[in-house]
Amino acid sequence: MEASGETPPVAIADRHYSGKFQVRVPEEVHRRLAIRAAEQGVSLNALASSRLAGA
pTM: 0.68
pLDDT in tens, 2-45: 788 888 788 988 888 999 999 999 999 999 999 999 999 999 99
Tell me 17's DSSP state.
-
Q: Is the pLDDT of residue 55 over 70?
A: no
| C-alpha to C-alpha distances, 8 to 1, 3, 5, 30, nearest whole angstrom | 6, 10, 9, 40
Please measure the distance between the N-terminal and C-terminal CA atoms of the chain and give it in whole angstroms: 41
Alpha-carbon span 39 to 49, nearest angstrom: 16
